[in-house]
Chain A
Amino acid sequence: MYEAELIDSILKGNQQDFVLLIKKYQQGVFRTSMGLVHNTEDAEEITQDVFVKVYQLLSSFNGKAAFSTWLYRIAVNTSLNYLRKKKRKNFWIGLTDILQVASKDKSIETIITERSDKVIIQQALDALPEKQRLAFVFSKYEELPQKQVADIMNISEGGVEQLLIRAKNNLKKILEKELNRP
């Protein structure tokens, strides 16, 4: 069944056809979320929220852009909102944890230097400006063609190219500094 027919059928009330749509795109949405939140449970929760939103908003999808473009935009907005909420929530918890551990047996400096390479890469990715991070995630995690990334981000293909170059340079700069620390 073609995508447009599938959407029509869902809008006519055939709820079970929505499962086909979920199965087609769940991996893509999950990967995109994973690239932004780096945690399986969080990425699953975001994927769930994205498809619930898609179901609720499906009647407003006008077909001007491809369905996948519309879906990825929802996925990005949901992931970024999730991160903002989580950041606010975890600020005090994280600070308390560090201070508690530090006061027990390790100094703050020891905790920070004990970070693994993986955590450093994750933090370097998160430190990238939002647009660079999104371009990186879409092209490296989801391997979307540059044209589609440009459509999702509402910029030109040249703009995507620029964002990717800057993202890679910034990542290397951060990582060289962090990983070569004595």
Chain B
Amino acid sequence: MNSKKDIDHLIESFVAEERNTAFNPFLATRIMEVIDKKRNDELVVFSPVWRSAVIAVSLFVAVFTGIAAGSLYQSKNAAADMVLMNDGSMENFGFYNEIGNE
């Protein structure tokens, strides 16, 4: 049977034991390594939010540039193309009927 005094003593010894637990003497070095690694990672790789934003903006710029480029294009030879496509103009029989051209 544990008396109240024993219980107090048990609690005190448990706390003292945990209080005096030794930790890794290189804990500070380990922490600084983690901090350095995190800083380097932040410099090299974008955060996921920024990465998504950059992809979205790039996609928008690509689509917008494509549409703008398509709208700006105007053919300079449109009239000539139409003449070439006109069969009447290509084979003008009147041309052969004229004297001197036979």
Partners in one complex: yes
Q: Which residues of B contact A8 (CB under 8 A)?
A: none
Q: In whole angstroms, how far apart are the Cα atoms of A92 and B101 in the complex?
A: 102
- B67 contact set on A, CB distance < 8 A: none
Q: Cα distance A180–B4 when bound, in Å?
A: 11
**In whole Å, how far is B39's beta carbon from the nearest beta carbon of chain A?**
8
Contacts of B15 in A (CB 8 A): 35, 140-141
B-contact 0/1 string along A151-182, CB 8 Å cutoff: 00000000000000000000110011001100
**C-alpha spacing A174/B8, complex, angstroms:** 12
Q: Are A52 and B11 in contact (CB under 8 A)?
A: no
Main secondary structure of the interface of A (DSSP, over half): helix
* Chain B window 36-52, contacts with chain A (Cβ cutoff 8 Å), 1 for yes, 0 for no: 10100000000000000
A residues in contact (CB < 8 Å) with B: 15, 18-19, 22-23, 26-27, 30-31, 34-35, 38, 40, 43-44, 47-48, 51-52, 55-56, 117-118, 121-122, 140-141, 171-172, 175-176, 179-180
> A34-B21, A172-B4 given as contacts; is B31 within 8 A of A118 (CB)?
no
Give the size category of B's interface with A: 20 to 34
4 closest cross-chain pairs (CB), A and B: A22-B28, A121-B14, A179-B2, A51-B31
Q: Are A48 and B1 in contact (CB under 8 A)?
A: no
Residue in A19, A117, A140 whose beta carbon sits within 8 Å of that of B32 in the complex: A19
Contacts of A34 in B (CB 8 A): 18-19, 21
How many residue-residue contacts, CB under 8 A, span A and B? 74
Across the interface, A18 reaches (CB within 8 A) one of B2, B14, B27, B35, namely B35
B24 and A44 contact, CB distance less than 8 A: yes
Partner among A47, A118, A122, A171 whose Cβ is within 8 Å of the Cβ of B27: A47
Residues of chain B lying within 8 A (CB to CB) of residue A141:
15, 18-19
Check A117 against B10 for contact (C-beta < 8 Å).
yes
Residue of B with least CB distance to A171: B11
